[in-house]
A and B are shown apart, each in its own frame.
Chain A
Amino acid sequence: MASLSLKNVCKVYPNGFEAVKDFNLEIADQEFIIFVGPSGCGKSTTLRMIAGLEDISSGELRIGDRLVNDVEPKDRDIAMVFQNYALYPHMTVYDNMAFGLKLRKVPTDEIDKMVKEAAKILDLVPLLERKPKALSGGQRQRVAMGRAIVRNPKVFLMDEPLSNLDAKLRVQMRIEIAKLHQRLGTTIIYVTHDQTEAMTLGTRIVVMRDGVVQQVDTPQNLYDKPVNLFVAGFMGSPQMNFLDAVVEVQGETAYLKIADKSIPLNAEKSKKIIDGGYDGKTVTFGIRPEDVYDSEMMVEANPLSVFEATIRVYELLGAEVFLYFDLDEFPMTARVDPRTTARPGDVVRFAFDTDKIHVFDKETSQIITN
């Protein structure tokens, strides 16, 4: 088990491509850290630098107290799991898990002990004599993880380990991985482009874009208090609604003018807008789909943020309904109760929960107030 420290870590390739810029992060022992971001954001490169499979161009990487920039990957006491794993088709589950250790010339009795312990943790004991062909997708994935666990590493690195699985199996394996983290009590760094995986698994999430860390925070804080438009849009599905609004200040209250409506902000939000000198400026207004209501009760309770819109699309997901409509030519989504009577073509009254409004600087994309 170990803590990790990344200080000003950069990765620049000789052709000038800068994959990771000034990456700073302290990871505590036993944390489950998620690197999330779109394809090409540098998350896998960062993981590979931690593994030692990519050289660090500048900065410091420590595992525990040890500076490991120049330490060989196999001497870093880490293990990796990738999405493109392969099981050895002619070997049993036992031999699949043991093979890496055999290559490392670990004594047979030690291998036996490690494999059996890992099999117990992963509930693979009854399957040890089976060949990969006789396993389900989830069982195969567990064997792949078993190969990492047998090494008893200080840190696990997982690079999109569930990406090749179907949706149902992914949900199952997500739960398995969360349980595994609890059982092993080991530090895990997990890369994914899937924000649902990030939200459900991580103790903290690192959101990356174009090689730059955008925000490091707990899943709840990332969702509730994004630091910029990118994080706000990336975390959450359906994504946060964004539209342009003009700020009007009257006394100590700031109003956001949208579609001929002036929505008053609460005292805290107003202060930040006024202090930032945004009076008269266009800002980006953000609101999550679940903070847009169509129920009469909520509409009555928020009379100053009510507006009408024509429903374009109605999407029933069982436990919830997504209503799609346009407001001031900006596409919007509301996540509402499945008992809603709204249907495409209907003109519906909606209300915002004004305490949940996010306001971003339109030029810098940075948050003004959450």
Chain B
Amino acid sequence: MDRAKRLEDALRDLEKAGRIGAEEVQYLLDVMQQEDSVEQFFSELIRGMSAKDENEMSRRTKGLELPSDAGWIVYHIQTDYPEEARELLGQIYSDPKEAVFPEGDSGMLRLVHMAADQDVRQQAKETAEQIVSMINTELMEKVYVGYSDVCELSGLHTADVQAAMALEILRTFYEERLEAGYGSLGIGRLVYSIRKEDCEAFLEEYFGAEKRLDLSEEELQTVNKFFEKNLNISETARDLFMHRNTLVYHLEKLQKKTGLDIRRFDDAMTLKIALMVERFLAV
């Protein structure tokens, strides 16, 4: 009798312990699923899913405790060591409301990050610079970052396209830079949006059937410096360590070659765009 009672008690204790254990496991599972879900949710939004159904959006946003009125920024991170970079950035951007995850098998990383309340542009730029600094210092690896404008959660798909474009334009036109935001791409964004056939037609119109400027390294250096110095002959000559008359001679030679007198603003602008178009077509 006593033995049977003891066994019954033991069975009850076991059931109790089992329930507690099961609850613990379920809790851990919930937490893990919730973490996974933020990434999953962002990933789906980026692919253009979920955002179509407002009720579903609202339910998941609430369930994941994501602030519905916040702004979001997507960062595209290009590095040769995406796994290590993901581990590293995951430690910095470790808030459950943000996520670092790979973009398919492209080797690219994405960070979806909540935007600051104020001074959003500057903060976004600083975050991009921080990503570069951390990968440079901790992994000693090269890295480039493109990032979007601020968007709502439902706009993550568009933001992702912007971040990808920012990175591509950065690598095409602004090789001296390591990060760029979609909103700060200047004329590069404009050139990038022109159809390639139109670009070729533009080059052909100005530079003939070869569609090439064919500038020597020295000519390119002179032109770039002249643009950098806002078409100022004296300052350009000083920086190039040449007499201003020598510079004028070089510019006149360039005019004969290209038909553009870049001392005139319109011609300077045409050559600047032509150089960018040529670069765009070469990449």
Check B175–A82 contact: CB distance below 8 A.
no
Instruction: Given A18-B224, A103-B138, verify A85-B133 contact (CB < 8 Å).
Output: yes
Contact residues of B between 85 and 143, Cβ < 8 Å to A: 87-88, 91-92, 94, 126, 129-130, 132-134, 136-142
- Asked whether B196 is an interface residue with its Cβ less than 8 Å from the other chain, the reply is no
A160 to B134, CA, bound (A): 15
A86 to B175, CA, bound (A): 25
Instruction: Given A84-B126, A210-B239, verify A89-B92 contact (CB < 8 Å).
Output: yes
Check B91–A91 contact: CB distance below 8 A.
yes
Nearest chain B CB to A345's CB is how many angstroms away?
A: 38
Nearest chain A CB to B241's CB is how many angstroms away?
A: 9
Residue interface mask B181-197, A partner, CB < 8 A = 1: 00000000000000000
Nearest chain A CB to B89's CB is how many angstroms away?
A: 9
Chain B residue at smallest Cβ distance from A363:
B238
- Asked whether B25 is an interface residue with its Cβ less than 8 Å from the other chain, the reply is no
Check A148–B137 contact: CB distance below 8 A.
yes
- Asked whether A154 is an interface residue with its Cβ less than 8 Å from the other chain, the reply is no
Instruction: Given A17-B224, A103-B84, verify A89-B94 contact (CB < 8 Å).
Output: yes
Chain B residue at smallest Cβ distance from A100:
B138
Check A90–B175 contact: CB distance below 8 A.
no
Check A84–B175 contact: CB distance below 8 A.
no
Per a CB cutoff under 8 Å, which of A14, A17, A73 touches B140? A73
Main secondary structure of the interface of B (DSSP, over half): helix
A89 to B279, CA, bound (A): 42
- Asked whether A226 is an interface residue with its Cβ less than 8 Å from the other chain, the reply is no
Nearest chain B CB to A93's CB is how many angstroms away?
A: 14
Check B91–A90 contact: CB distance below 8 A.
yes
Check A74–B141 contact: CB distance below 8 A.
yes
Check B133–A84 contact: CB distance below 8 A.
yes
- Asked whether A79 is an interface residue with its Cβ less than 8 Å from the other chain, the reply is yes
Nearest chain B CB to A191's CB is how many angstroms away?
A: 13
Check A79–B137 contact: CB distance below 8 A.
yes
User: Please, which residues of chain A bring their CB within 8 A of the CB of B94?
Assistant: 88-90
- Asked whether A258 is an interface residue with its Cβ less than 8 Å from the other chain, the reply is no
A103 to B137, CA, bound (A): 12
- Asked whether A365 is an interface residue with its Cβ less than 8 Å from the other chain, the reply is yes
Nearest chain B CB to A82's CB is how many angstroms away?
A: 4
Check B126–A86 contact: CB distance below 8 A.
no
A79 to B175, CA, bound (A): 24
A89 to B89, CA, bound (A): 11
Instruction: Given A18-B224, A103-B88, A365-B238, verify A13-B176 contact (CB < 8 Å).
Output: yes
- Asked whether B75 is an interface residue with its Cβ less than 8 Å from the other chain, the reply is no
Contact residues of A between 126 and 158, Cβ < 8 Å to B: 147-148
User: Please, which residues of chain A bring their CB within 8 A of the CB of B142?
Assistant: 53, 73
User: Please, which residues of chain A bring their CB within 8 A of the CB of B141?
Assistant: 53, 73-74
- Asked whether A274 is an interface residue with its Cβ less than 8 Å from the other chain, the reply is no
Chain B residue at smallest Cβ distance from A81:
B137
User: Please, which residues of chain A bring their CB within 8 A of the CB of B238?
Assistant: 365
- Asked whether B232 is an interface residue with its Cβ less than 8 Å from the other chain, the reply is no
Chain A residue at smallest Cβ distance from B172:
A15
A147 to B139, CA, bound (A): 12
Nearest chain A CB to B257's CB is how many angstroms away?
A: 16
Check B92–A88 contact: CB distance below 8 A.
yes
A51 to B221, CA, bound (A): 26
18 contacts across the A-B interface (CB closer than 8 A): A12-B217, A13-B175, A14-B175, A16-B217, A17-B175, A17-B224, A18-B225, A53-B142, A73-B141, A73-B142, A74-B140, A84-B129, A84-B132, A86-B134, A89-B92, A103-B138, A147-B137, A210-B239
Additional pairs, 10, CB under 8 Å, beyond known A13-B176, A82-B133: A14-B279, A16-B224, A52-B140, A53-B140, A53-B142, A85-B133, A90-B91, A100-B137, A100-B138, A148-B137
